[in-house]
Structure 1
Amino acid sequence: MVRINITEAKNHLSKYLRRVKKGETIILCERNVPFAEIGPIKPESRQLRPIGLDKGRFIVPENINDPLPDWLLDAFEGKKSE
């Protein structure tokens, strides 16, 4: 991890960005006081999630497709219940 001041970062941005691309983290400082961190983004997983990953962790209720009650629909629409 490298600590650099803003002026150094502005003057040599390309150099430090190459280091970030290689996986290094840069700490930005203002008058030698750290205030920000620049680091590589973790690559997104390209692997498909398996079907049934949460099987057995919850149960879908029988009434899942029933209409919502009026008081709840009113709340979604911003109507005040009586």
Structure 2
Amino acid sequence: MQTVNIHEAKTHLSRLIDKAAKGEPFIIAKSGKPMVKVVAINAPATSETRRVGFLDGHFSIPDDFDDMGREDIEELFGGKE
């Protein structure tokens, strides 16, 4: 991620905003210390990216899913010898 100082940000603000709007966020620093991060408003934060439900309707999970293969697994791990 690009880091720019305040003077550079003021000088090239339009160009930097265009890049941020296209998905290239940047950081503005003051005296080398990062102060703010500029990202597009519609860009979800990394922690907000969700994929829940992307496979809805493509497969089903059997009711006995938690018990499938239990005997074989117990035998492999010492349940039966």
Query: TM-score, normalised on structure 1?
Result: 0.49
TM-score for the superposition, normalised by structure 2 = 0.50
Higher helix share: 2
